[in-house]
Structure 1
Amino acid sequence: MNRAQIQPFFDPATWTVSYVVWDPAARAAAVVDPVLDFDFKSGRTSSTSADRILEFLRGQDLAVQWILETHAHADHLSAARYLQERAGGKIAIGERIRDVQAIFRKLFNLEREFLPDGSQFDHLFKDGETFAIGALQATALLVPGHTPADMAYLVDGSVFVGDTLFMPDVGTARADFPGGDAHQLYRSIHRLLELPGETRMFVCHDYPPGGREPRWETTVAAQREGNIHVGRGVPEGEFVRMRAERDATLEVPTLLLPSVQVNVRAGRLPPADDNGVAYLRIPLNALPAKG
């Protein structure tokens, strides 16, 4: 019987779902993909979403052991550092975050002191590495394709898949970000679909079609049968063609440029200038044009 307890936290501003997963006996927890609120118009950050998680942790008397990032998100700023300062835990991500840091260090011409070596995080997971949340056994799985560094976390019969898969009626992640690869994405998806059919699957975003209410939990079996992009044995070539055609129509995420600068730093804001103010950089005409 699965012992892990899971509490989702849905952020309607970014359609992101964060999670607390915990061992009820040990009262030990991990937080997955926490959101730091950001208003692009005013340039202000706030902590409403993260404070909901903190309130829950305190109410359940949970000790945070891990703050797990599935990847360097392009649609929200990470609250990992904010949570760590208030609740502890190690901030962790896949070791290939170094590849992503190198890409975006160049794009943003980041400060000389920023090194693309992953040292901004407390722990870098290798593919297949095991770790514990209390007495719960967990495994980090490399699932590149959306970005080079995407990880999924398998915890006691449940898997947190980040952006690699969405709900079956929404499909799969895009693969046109720097370092993305639709062939890799297809193979990563099938690695997840090879898990036991009863495995509970928790996604990082939902974009509900047809006006349905947001959802974030499904199963491996439901994805195999019903995912609109990969279900029922869609071959790799067909998937790659679909992704290329679909990705060519997708807009750049609203928060990509501000969020990545924070997320490659494990949730830290950029260092302040000599006036005491931190700044985000917007590279002009640097991303590929759409259409």
Structure 2
Amino acid sequence: MLDTMTQEPQVHSVFEPVTGTWQYIVADPNTNEAVIIDPVLDYDKSSGTISTRSADELLDLVTNHEYKIQRILETHAHADHLTASRYLQTVLSQKQTATIRPLVCIGKRIKDVQQTMQRKFNIPESELEDAFDHLFDDDETFNIGGLTASVIHLPGHTPDHIGYVIGSNVFTGDSIFNPDVGSARCDFPGGSAVQLYNSTQRLLQLPPHFRLYTGHDYPPDSRDPHLEQAVDGAVPYTTVETQRRENKHVKAGTKLEEFVNWRTERDSGLAEPKLLRQAMQVNVRGGRLPAKSTDDFKIANVPLHVFQVAG
């Protein structure tokens, strides 16, 4: 059972507008120990250029607050952006004391996704072995300073999808979106509209004041850009109570069959995410780049400090 009386973290929400991604730094305000969740490595598909602009913004925040990053957490193998996890680990390992090397972490079912992508993109098995520093079990707990975080399995969008419960905050990744956006697609390998519905219901059964921090936001034109916590109209979280009342796909009273039928029909008409092929090749490698360009993944102008796999 969740302890609703635990200490609350300091949460920094950083929006990356190109891919509509919310990145988070979550810290224990007493010890300054912290984690980073779902960081973005910038990539221009047309030129193949890699940039660390978004990740460096996170690093500036870490420096300004004197945070000690313990872990870099992924909610799942993203199909819409490249992860900056390995770049951040490299830089932070140099800046922090020798005893603090942030661990790159993800849920244990990443192995299923890796097997699928290995076949699809002919990734050498050696580049997937030990790609991550730690694979979380379901319901596993870990500390962020004096805070206790717990892992929650939230499949549906992808089979490996997890969230992180820290105090009364849940970092949901793509398992639920803000009420006026609704829900994520389920047509990736191992995805399931039934499982996604069940994951959203698990979240909506949490206490009404809990904050659900989403992995993305795509603000409708009708949204008030001056909403509290908004960045360029994008909102990082809403409460469980608000989601129950307003989520246009899974609000209270929505039946399983209704959601599955709608989501299945909707997904059948969606195009492939524009960075799917590039993102999956990096993200199943735990943030490491392929050694060279391929037809699926043009790579150029890579900063020297971005970690690549051995070629």
Normalised by the length of structure 1, the TM-score is 0.92
Matched-pair contact (CA < 8 Å) for 1:143–1:151: yes
Counterpart of 1:92?
A: 105
**Which residue of structure 2 lines up, in the alignment, with residue 13 of structure 1?**
18
Farther-moved stretch of structure 1 (163-172 vs 211-220): 211-220
With over 3 angstroms needed to count, the CA separation of the structure-2 counterparts of 1:136 and 1:97, relative to structure 1, is same
Which amino acid counterpart does residue 115 of structure 2 have in structure 1? A
Structure 2 Cα separation of the partners of residues 4 and 25 of structure 1: 9
Say whether 1:76 aligns with 2:86: no
Q: CA deviation at 1:86?
A: 1.1
Q: What is the match of residue 293 of structure 2? A: 279
C-alpha distance in 1 between matches for 2:294 and 2:270 = 24
**1:255 matched to 2:275:** yes
Change (3 A) 1:282 1:236: same
Q: Deviations over 1:161-185 (max 9, x none)?
A: 0011110010011100111011111
Q: Indicate the SS of the match to 1:261.
A: helix
Is the 2:118–2:125 Cα contact (8 Å) retained in structure 1? no
Residue 123 of structure 1 pairs with residue 134 of structure 2: yes
Distance 2:271 2:178 in 1: 20
Aligned counterparts of 2:263 and 2:237: Cα–Cα separation in 1: 23
SS in 1 for 2:56: helix
1:3 pairs with 2:8: yes
Deviates more, 1:105-114 or 1:218-227: 105-114
Tell me the CA shift for residue 191 of structure 1: 1.1
Structure scoring higher RCO (CA < 8 A, sep ≥ 6) equals: 2
Amino acid at match of 1:190: Q
Q: Aligned partners of 1:241, 1:156: CA distance in 2, in Å?
A: 35
SS in 2 for 1:65: strand
Unaligned runs of 5+ in 2: 93-100, 224-232, 298-311
1:4–1:23 CA contact under 8 A, matched in 2: yes
CA distance in 2, matches of 1:22, 1:201: 17
Question: Are 1:104 and 2:117 matched, yes or no?
Answer: yes
* 8 A contact 1:71–1:150 mirrored in 2: yes
The C-alpha deviation readout for 1:1-52, integer Å capped at 9, x for no partner, is 6430000110111100100000011110000000000010110101000000
How large is the RMSD of aligned CA atoms in angstroms?
A: 1.3
2:309 alignment counterpart? none
Report the 3-state secondary structure (helix = DSSP H, G, I; strand = E; otherwise coil) of the residue aligned with 1:161. strand
Partner of 1:242: 262
Report runs of 4+ in structure 1 exceeding 4 Å deviation. Answer: none
Instruction: Describe the SS at the equivalent of 1:209.
Output: coil
User: What TM-score, normalized to structure 2?
Assistant: 0.86
How many aligned positions are there? 275
Q: How much has 1:189 moved relative to structure 2?
A: 1.1
Which residues in structure 2 correspond to 1:44-193 (within 5 Å)? 44-87=49-92, 88-115=101-128, 119-193=130-204
Q: Following the alignment from structure 2 to structure 1, what is the Cα–Cα distance between the partners of residues 275 and 90?
A: 24
Unaligned runs of 5+ in 1: 273-277, 284-291
State the partner residue of 2:226: none
